[in-house]
Chains A and B, each alone.
Chain A
Amino acid sequence: MTAEARAPRSRLDPEPVTRRDVLGLAALWSAITALGFGLIGSLRLPRAAVLSSPSKKFRVTLPDSLPAGQAFVPPGRAVALFRDAAGVYAVSLICTHLGCVVKSTPTGFECPCHGSRFTLDGTVARGPAPQPLPWHKVTGGGGEYVVDEGANVPQGTRLQA
């Protein structure tokens, strides 16, 4: 078919794909692929490999006079330590809802942010918190203890005093 036999093209008609376009398309797609991989690669950067958070383990001395069932909150830490007949345990004070620090009361814990309430062992009693307050691992003995905020233990686990 010769060029003259074709109907005249209007300038609104799409142009047919020519051989040149193969190269053009290859260039386009390699650029898009490179951009895509570049994007994924650079998104890895903001995800820190080492988290600059303060040490999660700390040492604490429980006062001898601490009555059973009363919370002891070491200054600057969001953990409540308890001592009862069965031993010593540590309950996290970070609300499982959105991370506010809960206040310890004689009957349990209260969150100031959206009103979650927890019983003394951390079970959710009210409000939006989806999970109980976790218990942290406690080691040591003789009044000196090490609490590891990074390690959780099942509710009810106590360290024999």
Chain B
Amino acid sequence: MSEQERSSSALREFARNLRQAPRRFLETVFRHGPPRTDRTRSTFVFGNVFLHLHAARTHRWSLRWTTTLGLGLVTAAAFVITLVTGVLLMFYYKPYPDVAYQSIKDIHFVVPTGLFMRNVHRWAANVMVVAVILHMARVFYTAAYRAPREFNWVIGMGLLVTTLGLSFTGYLLPWDQLAYWAITIGANIAQSPREITDALGITDWADIGGLQRQLLLGSDVVGEEALIRFYLLHVMLLPLLLVALLAVHFWRVRKDGGLARPADADRRLGPPPADAYPVFTEAPRKTYQLAAVVRGRTAAVGNGPEQTVPSMPHLFYAELGVFMLTTLICLALSLWIDAPLKELANPNVPENPAKAPWYFLGLQECVSFSAFMGGVGIPLIVLAGLGLIPYLDREERGTGVWCGGPGGWPLVRWATLFGLAAAIGVEAFAIRCGWLREWFPDIPQLVITFVNPGTLLAALYALFSLFVVRKQNSVRAGALALFTCFLCGFVVLTIIGTYFRGPNWEFFWSPADWPKH
């Protein structure tokens, strides 16, 4: 080959490589080709750092929509939406008193698409709170917290608290009247252990309440320090915490063998439909070696893969569908109802009524009887109770089935009835007749702290479920009763707080009856 020929062949190769570069680039990104065979469908999942939080194959039980109602995914989707819109809002938002209000006003009235983004952010945040509560209820009612998923339930509680924390911290940011007074009340709830320490006379050297409030506000008023702290929590610390917890949460779902299902799931499912893509075309080679290091039963050992289908496409398309649905809901709500913005915060004149975000109005209702019990005591009891569920209920009947376990649906119906009746009854009594302070003006505060409509209701619920435990001879039955009762109590108190409380937190049948001022 002459010198000239050789250089022209290198030039030809250069031209050919250049032509092929786009296709080669795509091939290096998606290394395994389109997911069309059993093997490439699997590599599609575990060859991708994000997707491999999923298993390569999914059990058909997990894909029935009645198994989860898609609620966990709705929560995650709503979180992603708040993340995107939140970052956009950060372009304009300035966390400094009064300036903050002006910047939200700019976002609301001037910034192109600002109002829309703000609406979507707020609605997605609300959807997230609703979905996270419903998701927890789903896991509870299908008894999906049982071994080996106990710890994932605890992680889930961390997610619940973090979600509420995100919402609460976000609520202050607009620095309007609504925000200012909700946070004033919230910060004073953090201080309410003083109700106990004052009554015991130990506040001077064990002022837990004061310390909590001071850590939250960085000052003894809700001012610039508080706003910057809430901002930091809202855009950095809590989102990071949430993402970390989410990673553990999803990973454990996979490691715990996919979603919980009844022992006889295969029989209930029947044979796979003809259009599914169910069978292994090649035998798995690696799974059995792993069995030596994985404790307990794994999905692949002893159970056979017959009832599983490839996650791509079956699971991923379902997930995408839920994600789009959530987006649709948030967009529709945003087009329909605008996020509120009241007047600039005024530390001298409280909003009347000053209401917390709706999901805290049930607590605010309890707080209106005793600050400590409503704001700290009862929430802690509820959280502790929820956290203990998987460690107390170690039965096996009913896993993976709605209202599974002794008692079942009839028990849940009775508990609903009892839960609603008790909540409405106690509230009606307190609203009509008042409470201890009105009858005995000199009564010590400690008595009211421990005997008030909130604690009375909790005690009624506890007694009812102890009765159920005895009657059904099952812890699960008691848990079903207690959880249902508390859910009913939450709903009743939240509705009363939202719709039936007016100025001075008095009871009104409708906002139309509120006195004009």
Interface residues of A (CB under 8 A from B): 11-12, 46-48, 51-54, 76-78, 97-101, 110-115, 124-128, 130-131
Contacts and interface: CB of A to CB of B under 8 A. Distances in A.
A126 B185 contact: no
Contact of B354 (A12, A112, A125): A112
Contacts of A77: 348
Contacts of A98: 184-185, 188-189, 192, 367, 371
B504 A125 contact: no
Contacts of A53: 219-221, 223
Contacts of B224: 52
Contacts of B504: 110-112, 115
Given A47-B215, A99-B185, A101-B348, A115 B437 contact: no
Contacts of B352: 112-113
Contacts of A11: 292
B438 to A, nearest CB: 6
Interface in B310-331: none
B215 A46 contact: yes
Contact of B353 (A97, A113, A125, A127): A113
Interface residues of B, number: 47
Given A52-B225, A53-B223, A112-B353, A78 B348 contact: yes
Interface string B74-97: 000000000000000000000000
B434 interface: yes
B441 interface: yes
A101 B351 CA distance: 10
19 contacts: A47-B214, A51-B220, A52-B225, A98-B184, A98-B185, A99-B187, A100-B181, A100-B350, A101-B349, A101-B350, A110-B504, A112-B350, A112-B354, A112-B503, A113-B353, A125-B441, A130-B198, A130-B445, A130-B449
Contacts, number: 101
A111 B503 CA distance: 9
Contacts of B221: 53-54
Interface string B427-445: 0000000100110010001
A12 to B, nearest CB: 8
B188 A128 contact: no
A113 B214 CA distance: 22
A131 to B, nearest CB: 7
Contacts of A100: 181, 184-185, 350, 354
Contacts of B506: 115
A141 B292 CA distance: 88
A126 B437 contact: yes
Interface-centre pick from B218, B229, B350 (highest chain A CB count, 10 A): B350
B465 interface: no
The 8 closest A-B pairs by CB, nearest first: A112-B352, A114-B368, A98-B188, A99-B188, A130-B445, A115-B505, A100-B350, A114-B505
A130 B436 CA distance: 12
A126 B184 contact: no
Interface in B360-386: 364, 367-371
A51 B219 contact: yes
B441 A124 contact: yes
Nearest to B351: A112
Contacts of B351: 112
A51 B221 CA distance: 9
Contacts of B98: none
Interface in B195-221: 195, 198-199, 211, 214-215, 218-221
Interface-centre pick from A51, A52, A78, A112 (highest chain B CB count, 10 A): A112
A78 B220 CA distance: 14
B350 A130 contact: no
A48 B225 contact: yes
Contacts of A51: 214, 218-220
A122 to B, nearest CB: 13
B370 A128 contact: yes
B191 to A, nearest CB: 8
Given A112-B352, A127-B437, A131-B198, A52 B223 contact: yes
B505 to A, nearest CB: 4
Contacts of A99: 184-185, 187-188
Given A51-B220, A53-B219, A98-B184, A114 B367 contact: yes
A156 B503 CA distance: 31
B312 to A, nearest CB: 34
Nearest to A100: B350
A126 B229 CA distance: 35
A131 B185 CA distance: 16
Contacts of B368: 114-115, 127-128
Contacts of A124: 437, 441
Nearest to A77: B348
A52 B221 CA distance: 9
Nearest to B452: A128
Given A100-B181, A112-B503, A130-B199, 7 more contacts: A51-B219, A53-B221, A97-B188, A112-B505, A113-B353, A126-B438, A130-B448
A52 B217 CA distance: 10
Nearest to A150: B220
A130 B371 contact: yes
A48 B505 contact: no
Contacts of B364: 114
A126 B220 contact: no
Contacts of A12: 292
